[in-house]
Amino acid sequence: MMLATEDVMVWVLGALTITLVIATLLPLLPHPHWAVRGFDFPRLQIACLALVLLLLQLALLEMESVATWLMVLATTASLAGQLWWIAPYTALWRRQVKTAQKRDPDYALTILTSNVLTPNRNAQALIRLVQEHTPDVLVTLESDKWWEEQLAVLEPDMPFTIKCPLDNLYGMHVYSRLPLHETTCRFLIEDAVPSMHALVELPSGDQVRIHFLHPAPPSPTENPESKERDAELVIVGRSVAGSEEPTVVTGDLNDVAWSPTTRLFRKVSGLLDPRIGRGLYATFHADYWFLRWPLDHLFHSKHFTLDLMARLPSIGSDHFPLITRIMLAPDRGRDQQPLAAEEGDQEQAKNLAREQGASKDDVPEPGE
């Protein structure tokens, strides 16, 4: 017996509602498998789909039906749940980091972060951005020997470097106009995934502890679980916690700003996120506007305020470059509040590291 059109519509909308609820509840599980953790990423996209589904339910279904109200309530709850995660990264939220009062070049630190995508051969686009914006520090991710050769033209102006060219999508380079001290390249969790650590000396003579990261993501083509990524983030977070030095952690973390892991990193590190109250600054995917989320990050200690944060034009990679200028202003930033840690956060961070045989003591502590 053929179902009526109205019945088909109810079944279709019901199936979509169930799918939406699953997509909302699944990432609440603490399981590290990529199929679970992958739902941490597209929360904005899921929220948009939830809104469309809610409008369809209200427009097409009989509101006298109990089934209709159950679907509407489930969709509304899912929409609210998704918005709860992403709302801090909108202008509706209170800013966590103060805006700089004035730009003093002696106390400014401008960092340009760019995942170049190893097969991408448009090095001139990145070079032009560096020449236009003159960052103090450039960090490139996924840069191999070819990229190193192309970026050599920057070295007369940016002579302080750390280089680790790799052809496995995890090469990394740092170029700096400002002196770098105690530079270290370290493989914290995985043998083929480097991180870089240094002190950057500002024109004022102040030194900033800085960590450049690019942990591997959970995915069917990389690590099947997020444990390696999570462990790298938490050991760096625990390493910088309580440091009296001005501190920056930046790079492509292969995690979104609102994920449980990044929130745990913020809690145990005490670092601030300048995007909160300002915007998403979604840097990935550069080719698909409808599939974008923030994968490239800069976190800093309360010693700094924010002068500039901007997503720069595409250089042919799947990531947009991100430029950030922070101002060393410890007096103004003293009362900036990090995300408060909760009971059990420290133990969870220790357990994540312990499962990978890692510790905060593995992280270089330049300046300590």
pLDDT in tens, 94-125: 999 999 998 899 999 999 999 999 999 999 99
Least confident segment among 6-15, 79-88, 150-159: 6-15
pLDDT at 10: 87
* CA angle (210, 212, 216) in 5-degree steps: 150
> Hey, which residues does 300 pair with through a beta bridge?
248, 272
Please report, for the domain that includes residue 320, its CATH number.
Answer: 3.60.10.10
pLDDT at 3: 47
pLDDT at 100: 97
Of the candidates 197, 198, 178, 170, the one whose C-alpha atom is nearest the C-alpha of residue 186 is: 197
Residue 65 is part of which domain span?
5-89
For the cut 50, the answer to whether the pLDDT of residue 1 exceeds it is no
Residues 112, 19 share a domain: no
pLDDT at 4: 60
Structural domain count, the chain: 2
CA 248 to chain centroid: 13
Instruction: Examine residue 353 and state whether it is found in any structural domain, yes or no.
Output: yes
Residues 213, 344 share a domain: yes
Residues 113, 82 share a domain: no
Instruction: Examine residue 367 and state whether it is found in any structural domain, yes or no.
Output: no
Residues 173, 112 share a domain: yes
Q: What is the pTM of this model?
A: 0.95
Residue 62 carries which side chain, given as an amino acid letter? E
Instruction: Examine residue 368 and state whether it is found in any structural domain, yes or no.
Output: no
Query: What pLDDT band is residue 367 in, cutting at 50, 70 and 90?
Result: confident
Residues 123, 77 share a domain: no
Instruction: Examine residue 102 and state whether it is found in any structural domain, yes or no.
Output: no
Question: Which of 89, 116, 145 is a domain's end point?
Answer: 89
| Tens-digit pLDDT profile for residues 47-95 | 999 999 999 999 998 888 898 999 999 999 999 999 999 999 999 999 9
- Structural tokens at position 323: 């430029």
Instruction: Examine residue 97 and state whether it is found in any structural domain, yes or no.
Output: no
Residues 65, 128 share a domain: no
| Tens-digit pLDDT profile for residues 212-241 | 999 999 999 899 999 999 999 999 999 999
The mean pLDDT of the chain is: 96
How far are the Cα atoms of 109, 248, 258, 272 from residue 98, in angstroms, in the given order? 16, 16, 20, 10
Backbone phi, then psi, for 328, in 5-degree steps?
-70, 110
Instruction: Examine residue 318 and state whether it is found in any structural domain, yes or no.
Output: yes
Instruction: Examine residue 98 and state whether it is found in any structural domain, yes or no.
Output: no
Residues 81, 141 share a domain: no
Residues 344, 251 share a domain: yes
Type and span of the H or E element at 52 = helix 43-60
pLDDT at 140: 98
Instruction: Examine residue 100 and state whether it is found in any structural domain, yes or no.
Output: no
pLDDT at 242: 83
Residues 120, 64 share a domain: no
Strand order in the sheet with 207-213: 180-186, 195-201, 207-213, 247-252, 296-300
Residues 123, 263 share a domain: yes
| Tens-digit pLDDT profile for residues 338-349 | 999 999 999 999
Residues 30, 175 share a domain: no
For the cut 80, the answer to whether the pLDDT of residue 5 exceeds it is no
Residues 341, 240 share a domain: yes
| Tens-digit pLDDT profile for residues 272-320 | 999 999 999 999 999 999 999 999 999 999 999 999 999 999 999 999 9
